[in-house]
């Protein structure tokens, strides 16, 4: 069971105790209420919402106002898990001042517990500045979707020695800068396990094998709502797309046959 008094600084203690972290994305109050039952340690308002909910090609066009709207909705729905919010593209890369102002606004308006940002060495001064100003940070290494255009696609990162070494160094640098945890996305499992073993703070894997200290999945993907998306790492725990289709077919049949609304669902 998740711990209701968990805080971002406690994450390293959870790792030291060998307890895996359970993380899911969440974008709205309805799902947040469903996820508030104690199974989940951290809800992540990921900028993936731009693809999952808005049908965009990448996460790049997510805005700070959109992230705040969704994070505030999740906060209203869930009190139990920690709430981490993605800083969207260009809200933290232009200057440290921008990053502090934007991350601070996210924290103040949404009452989240931390922000997440992508990148390694180049982001270390920003992470340090945020943490020193009271803003906990979750890092994100490996496949960093905001850099998909320079990476050239959604590909596994760290198969080449030089890239693997850089990822190890980046993870250590983020920890030294004060990050409370780091997401490892699409990283070979041996490398992810090596990085995890080298850090005091937990790694949270997505497509990075079982050697990470926790796992995150996009909620809509693991519930089987996102039918077109089937990467190797994704395990579907339900077929909600099938449930939705059957329900709509049954409703349409009832309406056309005059079976709905019946006496039970009508007012006198």
Choose the stretch contacting ligand KIV; rule: CB under 6 A; options: 30-38, 43-51, 166-174, 252-260. 43-51
- How many residues are listed for the chain in this entry? 268
Which positions are annotated as active-site residues? Answer: 185
Radius of gyration for the chain, computed over Cα atoms and rounded to the nearest angstrom: 20
DSSP characters over 129-167 = HHHHTT--EEEEEES-GGGHHHHTSS-----SHHHHHHH
Q: Which of 55, 125, 115, 58 is nearest to 91 (CA)?
A: 115
Binding mask 85-114 for ligand KIV (x = CB under 6 A): -x----------------------------
- Considering the complex, state which of residue 48 and residue 73 has its C-beta at the smaller distance from ligand KIV: 48
Q: Is 183 in the site for ligand KIV (CB under 6 A)?
A: yes
Which 3 state secondary structure label does DSSP give 232? coil
Q: Is 146 in the site for ligand KIV (CB under 6 A)?
A: no
Q: Is 46 in the site for ligand KIV (CB under 6 A)?
A: yes
Q: Is 47 in the site for ligand KIV (CB under 6 A)?
A: yes
Work out which of 206, 208, 222, 225 binds ligand KIV, going by CB under 6 A. Answer: 206
User: CA 73 to CA 45: how far, in whole Å?
Assistant: 10
Which H or E element spans position 182?
Answer: strand 181-185
Minimum CB separation of residue 52 from ligand KIV in Å reads: 8
Interacting residues toward ligand KIV by CB under 6 A = 25, 44, 46-48, 86, 183, 185, 206, 216, 218
């Amino acid at each position: 069971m998740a711990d209701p008094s968990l805080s971002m600084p406690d994450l390293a203690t959870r790792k030291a105790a060998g307890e895996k972290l359970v993380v899911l994305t969440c974008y709205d109050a309805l799902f947040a209420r469903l996820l508030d039952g104690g199974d989940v340690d951290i809800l992540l308002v990921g900028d993936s919402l731009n693809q999952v909910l808005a049908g965009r090609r990448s996460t790049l066009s997510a805005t700070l106002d959109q992230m705040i709207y969704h994070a505030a909705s999740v906060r209203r729905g869930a009190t139990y898990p920690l709430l981490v919010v993605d800083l969207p593209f260009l809200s933290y890369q232009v200057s440290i001042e921008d990053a502090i102002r934007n991350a601070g606004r996210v924290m103040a308006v949404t009452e989240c517990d931390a922000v997440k940002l992508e990148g390694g060495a180049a982001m270390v001064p920003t992470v340090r500045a945020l943490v020193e100003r009271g803003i906990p940070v979750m890092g994100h290494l490996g496949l960093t979707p905001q850099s998909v255009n320079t990476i050239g696609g959604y590909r596994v990162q760290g198969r080449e020695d030089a890239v693997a070494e850089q990822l190890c160094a980046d993870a250590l640098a983020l920890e030294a800068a004060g990050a409370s945890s780091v997401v490892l996305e699409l990283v070979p499992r041996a490398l992810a396990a090596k990085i995890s073993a080298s850090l005091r703070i937990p790694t949270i894997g997505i497509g990075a094998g079982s050697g990470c200290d926790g796992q995150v999945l996009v909620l809509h993907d693991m519930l089987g709502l996102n039918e077109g998306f089937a990467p190797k790492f994704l395990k579907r725990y339900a077929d909600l797309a099938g449930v939705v289709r059957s329900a709509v077919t049954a409703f349409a049949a009832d309406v056309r046959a005059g079976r709905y609304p019946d006496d039970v669902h009508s007012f006198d």
